[in-house]
């Protein structure tokens, strides 16, 4: 299995996943973990619109991961 984020496609058997799909999923899960940690420390009560904050955080994490692992 060739799993390197330095190529435009990730090959899983005979199926090729686009690079952006993998980065987007990793950004989503990173944002999910960050919001979970913020909720454990009860810091989300200071956020006005939590779903909007989550979407913005997912985009930010995906963009940062995209810059780090750009092919």
What confidence tens digit (pLDDT) does each residue in 12-69 have?
Answer: 788 888 888 989 999 999 999 999 999 999 999 999 999 999 999 999 999 999 999 8
In total, how many domains does the chain have? 1
CB under 8 A, 24+ apart: contacts of 4-7 = 5/69, 5/71, 6/69, 6/71, 7/71
9 inside domain:
no
55 inside domain:
yes
2 inside domain:
no
1 inside domain:
no
pTM of the model: 0.81
Domain that residue 55 falls in:
16-68
22 inside domain:
yes
30 inside domain:
yes
pLDDT of residue 5: 58
- 48 versus 70: the higher-pLDDT residue is 48
pLDDT of residue 9: 80
């Amino acid at each position: 299995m060739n799993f390197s984020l330095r190529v435009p496609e990730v090959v899983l058997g005979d199926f090729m996943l686009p690079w952006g799909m993998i980065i987007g999923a990793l950004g989503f899960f990173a944002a999910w973990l960050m919001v979970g940690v913020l909720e454990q420390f009860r810091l989300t009560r200071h956020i006005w619109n939590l779903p909007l904050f989550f979407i913005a955080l997912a985009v930010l994490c995906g963009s940062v991961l995209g810059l780090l692992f750009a092919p």
